[in-house]
């Protein structure tokens, strides 16, 4: 389909006619002898007018070419363009950051798979997170891993395959043996700073208590709340353990409550999968559809035609003048 980007430019079409009607011709006073009926007298006498006695006029070719060139220029100003079929793009309406604990305690084999066999905590988390991530196709996600320090494995991206690939390459202890909950939350807040989407969700999974953060988890949660970040926490450790291996349920619940998120506890792979199902139900994948029509400008076509017509008419007039001079 062809349309005009600036159709109001067509109002310029009658401009030359209005100028011809409304603007008086240029007048110049020069010494001259006024001689009425000049054309008739010269024609009757069979004489040829000399310099200074020529009455200029436009030929039909010149008038037609002028009209066509002006019309084509105005058409180019109206921005003709080819409009393509509608194209729809679905963009995520929520950004999600996964912050996963890979401290030394995540190597504990107290999770049970479907057959009842013991399984490493991190391996169980990978299996369940994979299903969760694959179900959120179209969302933007980021991956943070933390131990003694917190690191961004992948910034916010729609390439979920990369998220899963990086998670598969993650090993227990890569970020240190301790647990830095507050730093992980702070790093997630910085990751969200590149987002222009209002709905922001942080899923924080840990099996221990905060022992090495430079910022307390509660203070980090307050900052997250002020930035519009909702935090859902998942505890996968043993609340009855001692030392760093004891999961701090109270802190995780406090973090979630301060930001309006949910706090969950998972004791095995099935329970962890159920937790992610609950999070997915509470925060379903949302998206906003942007529709547009691709447009290709065609303004160069009338400009090219105007240039060709003008060049051709000038060439014809020039050759006609040369022919007349040669004949004389």
pLDDT in tens, 163-190: 999 988 988 888 888 888 899 999 999 9
Per-position b or e across 98-123, b if 16+ CB within 10 A of its CB: bbbbbbbbbebebbbeeeeeebebbe
- Whether residue 80 lies inside any domain: the answer is yes
Confidence of residue 18 (pLDDT cuts 50, 70, 90): confident
- Whether residue 261 lies inside any domain: the answer is yes
Measure Cα distances from 107 to 103, 120, 171, 181 in Å.
Answer: 8, 6, 9, 18
Q: Are 20 and 154 part of one and the same domain? A: no
Average pLDDT over residues 118-135: 84
Residues with Cβ < 8 Å from 200, sequence gap 6 or more? 94, 95, 97, 192, 227, 228, 229, 230
Residue 69 lies in a domain: yes
Structural domains in the chain (count): 2
pLDDT higher than threshold 70 for residue 105 = yes
**Mean pLDDT score, 239-249:** 69
Q: What is the pLDDT of residue 220?
A: 92
User: What share of the chain has pLDDT > 90, as a percent?
Assistant: 25
What pLDDT sits at residue 308? 94
Both 113 and 242 in a single domain? yes
Residue 285 in this model has a pLDDT that exceeds 60: no
Distance (Å, whole) CA 272 – CA 205:
10
User: Do 153 and 6 fall into the same domain?
Assistant: no
**Three-state secondary structure call for residue 8:** helix
HSE, side-chain direction, 13 A CA sphere, residue 251? 22
Averaged pLDDT, 7-35: 77
In a domain, 303, yes or no: yes
pLDDT at residue 33 is higher than 80: no
* Residue 150, number of CB atoms within 10 A of its CB: 24
Question: In terms of domains, do 273 and 218 share one?
Answer: yes
Same domain membership, residue 213 and residue 124? yes
Task: Answer yes or no: is 30 within a domain.
Answer: no
Report the pLDDT value the prediction gives residue 241, as an integer from 0 to 100. 64
Give Cβ neighbours of residue 112 (< 8 Å, ≥ 6 apart): 118, 119, 268, 269, 270
Q: How confident is the model at residue 235 (pLDDT cuts 50, 70, 90)?
A: confident
The whole-number average pLDDT for the span 103-122 is 79
Residues 72, 175: one domain?
no
pLDDT band at 237 (very low <50, low <70, confident <90, very high): low
Do both 20 and 94 map to the same domain? no
In a domain, 104, yes or no: yes
Co-location of 192 and 239 in the same domain: yes
Confidence band for 107, pLDDT divided at 50, 70 and 90: confident
- Segments forming the whole domain that contains residue 236: 89-290
DSSP code for 128: H
Q: Is the pLDDT of residue 284 over 60?
A: no
Same domain, 146 and 282: yes
Name the region of 173 (left: φ>0; alpha: ψ -120 to 50; beta: rest): left
Higher pLDDT, 270 or 174: 174
Is position 11 within any domain? yes
My answer on whether 239 and 321 are in the same domain is no
Q: Are residues 323 and 233 in the same domain?
A: no
191 and 246 housed in the same domain:
yes
Closest CA to 131 of 99, 163, 155: 163
**CATH assignment at residue 279:** 3.40.50.410
Report pLDDT digits (tens) over 189-234: 999 988 877 788 899 998 877 888 888 899 999 999 999 999 999 8
Is there a domain that residue 243 lies in? Answer: yes
Q: 211 and 240 in contact (C-beta within 8 Å)?
A: no
């Amino acid at each position: 389909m062809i349309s005009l980007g600036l159709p109001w430019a067509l109002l310029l079409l009658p401009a030359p006619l209005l100028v011809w009607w409304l603007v008086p011709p240029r007048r110049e006073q020069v010494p001259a002898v006024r001689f009425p009926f000049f054309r008739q007298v010269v024609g009757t006498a069979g004489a040829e007018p000399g310099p200074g006695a020529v009455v200029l006029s436009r030929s039909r070719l010149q008038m037609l070419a002028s009209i066509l060139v002006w019309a084509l220029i105005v058409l180019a100003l109206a921005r003709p363009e080819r409009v393509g079929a509608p194209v729809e793009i679905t963009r995520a309406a929520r950004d999600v950051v996964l912050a996963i604990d890979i401290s030394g305690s995540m190597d504990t084999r107290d999770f049970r798979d479907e057959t009842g066999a013991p399984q490493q905590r991190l391996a169980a988390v990978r299996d369940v997170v994979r299903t969760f991530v694959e179900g959120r196709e179209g969302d933007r996600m980021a991956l943070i891993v933390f131990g003694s320090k917190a690191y961004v494995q992948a910034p916010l991206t729609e390439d979920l395959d990369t998220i899963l690939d990086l998670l598969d390459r993650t090993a227990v202890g890569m970020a240190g043996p301790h647990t830095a909950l507050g730093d992980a939350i702070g790093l997630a807040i910085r990751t969200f700073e590149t987002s222009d989407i209002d709905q922001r969700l942080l899923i924080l999974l840990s099996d221990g208590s905060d022992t090495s953060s430079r910022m307390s988890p509660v203070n980090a949660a307050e900052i997250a709340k002020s930035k519009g970040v909702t935090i859902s926490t998942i505890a996968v450790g043993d609340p009855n353990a001692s030392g760093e291996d004891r999961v701090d349920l109270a802190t995780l619940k406090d973090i979630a409550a301060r930001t309006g998120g949910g706090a969950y506890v998972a004791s095995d792979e099935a329970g962890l999968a159920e937790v992610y199902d609950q999070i997915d139900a509470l925060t379903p994948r949302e998206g906003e559809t942007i529709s547009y029509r691709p447009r290709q400008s065609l303004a160069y076509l009338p400009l090219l035609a105007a240039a060709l017509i003008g060049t051709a008419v000038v060439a014809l007039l020039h050759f006609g003048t040369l022919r007349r001079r040669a004949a004389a």
